[in-house]
Amino acid sequence: MKTMLDWQQISRQGAHQGIARLRKVQRDLLDTVELASEVREEHRQMGCRDIHYAMRGDMPRGRDWTEQVLLGCGFRVKASPRSFTVAGTGICSNLIEGMAITGPNQVWQTDITYVWSGGRWYYVSFVIDVYTRQILASHCSRDLSAASQVRCLAKAFAGQKGEDLSELIVHTDRGVQYTSDAYKSYLERWDVRHSMAHYAWQNAYCERVNRTIKHNYLKYYTTDSYNSLCKGVAKAVRLYNRSKPHRGLPSRLSPDQFVKELNQGDHPDYRVNIWSKLTSTKMLHVN
């Protein structure tokens, strides 16, 4: 052993240090994969970077190292297919394009997605606060009626009882449920302004929540009936709000963590700027 080390011009101390570093790397690799596996038990489609942020207090190394290790260990996720909406009549203007959102309850977005369960389609709706990214309400329905969308919105209002909703804008797509008299009348009753997306990307925040809940959570649950679907949606919403890191929030906090820190006076300069072709640098042409 001594002859080999002398030939390599390595001291015994250097050899022991090298072995210790190798063992440390091996331990870090094993710990990283074990922690990531724990996260994936609940968040089956969480990305490698978000896994690091979800376990940031326990991960042995930094974000980039963790991400590369997990990608190499088969933790990469695949993109999910998208759905489409049938537009109704009686379209409202888009009131939020180019808007700077400075606090909760200024802009909510809502949308419907389809979920196959128990041999038939069901319809799941969400209401999210664009500023906090919290899912404020969810509703599972057997039909695509306007009444089911009113019930989902009613849950969101009930959850914000006592909060200031005087500046609130509810932003939807142009689906027939949202252009209906029943939905518009309900918003008028609350004295809330109604805004509509004219393109899918103008309702992007809720569209993304639809895909995340459906393909990152419900896909891995046993939802073979209406009741089990309702329970699965409730569980997914709870996990999303409480523990899923959100890349749109400061320090990739989860929505609930962000709201907690917001109530403590943190993040006073945080803003959400809604994209507009009038303000986007990608639309500017310099001669």
Q: For position 135, which CATH number holds?
A: 3.30.420.10
Structural domain contains residue 90: no
Q: Is residue 194's pLDDT more than 90?
A: yes
Residues 14 and 149 in one domain: no
Q: Are 145 and 175 in contact (CB under 8 A)?
A: no
134 and 187 in a single domain? The answer is yes
105 located within any domain: yes
State the pLDDT confidence band at 47, using cuts at 50, 70 and 90.
confident
Residue 265 resides in a domain: yes
**H/E segment holding residue 65:** helix 63-72
Q: Do both 152 and 43 map to the same domain? A: no
Least confidently predicted of 16-30, 35-49, 138-152, 171-185: 16-30
Q: Say yes or no to pLDDT of 6 above 70.
A: no
User: What is the per-residue pLDDT across 227-262, written as a single tens digit (0 to 9) for each?
Assistant: 999 999 999 999 999 999 999 999 999 999 999 999
Query: How large a percentage of the chain has pLDDT more than 90?
Result: 53
Same domain, 129 and 248: yes
CA distances from 118 to 44, 198, 223, 227, 228 (A): 21, 34, 7, 10, 9
- pLDDT for 102 beyond 60: yes
Give the number of domains in the chain: 2
Average pLDDT over residues 62-66: 82
Whether residue 238 sits in one domain with residue 159: yes
* 186: helix, strand or coil: helix
Residues 68, 104 share a domain: no
With bands split at pLDDT 50, 70 and 90, how would you rate the model's confidence at 33?
A: confident
For residues 104-119, average pLDDT: 93
- Domain extent, residue 268, equals 100-273
pLDDT, average across residues 105-132: 94
